[in-house]
Amino acid sequence: MEEEAQIPDDLIMVTEFIRVFKASLDLRLWIKLIKEEVQEYQVALFNDDREEMLKEISDVVYVKAGFMAVLGGGITEGILQEEEFQDWTEILGKSAAAFNQAKDIFSEEVLFEAFKRVHASNMSKLGDDGKPILREDGKVLKGPNYKKPYLTDLLEGTTIRTEKTA
């Protein structure tokens, strides 16, 4: 008997966000968001701010899952021009490297719990009228009822590894 493929929980949550917020289906916007979030993660890493690192790596994973949900699979060179394909490949590579680095700092359980809390926070972004607030390029903005994710308790017992890992 053939096993049915499981959709990862992160894709289910982000797909809910896309549906509820009528989020953009523009792959270029999702790549732009990945790039922004990777940069914010790198700033948090530079500042040695573990709580911000955890939030930002959750955001990286969130927008990358959004990209994958919109894409519906893998990138094919046929839909992009060569230069754009190379740029996207580089950005996706940086997001994967950031996540791998975060896995050296935080356990998978902590990372997934942070992701769930970021999802709940993102779902609180609706406006008072129950509708999404969108930036001109389609990015979902924080509404008046936005609640920042609480991650402090997830940091207990985590330490920044300063030695290089093999």
Q: pLDDT, tens digit, for every residue of 118-161?
A: 999 999 999 999 999 999 999 999 999 999 999 999 987 655 44
Residue 58 belongs to a domain: yes
145 within 8 A of 126, measured Cβ to Cβ: yes
Domain extent at residue 33: 9-154
User: How far lies 97's CA from each of 38, 60, 68, 127, in Å?
Assistant: 10, 11, 17, 34
pTM recorded for the entire structure: 0.82
**Are the CB atoms for 140 and 134 separated by under 8 Å?**
yes
Model pLDDT for residues 31-66, shown as the tens digit of each residue: 999 999 999 999 999 999 999 999 999 999 999 999
- Within-domain flag for 1: no
Residue 159 forms part of a structural domain: no
How far apart CA 100 and CA 161 sit, in angstroms, is 13
Beta bridge partners of 104: none
| Banded model confidence at residue 162, pLDDT cuts 50, 70, 90 | very low
Number of independent structural domains in the chain? 1
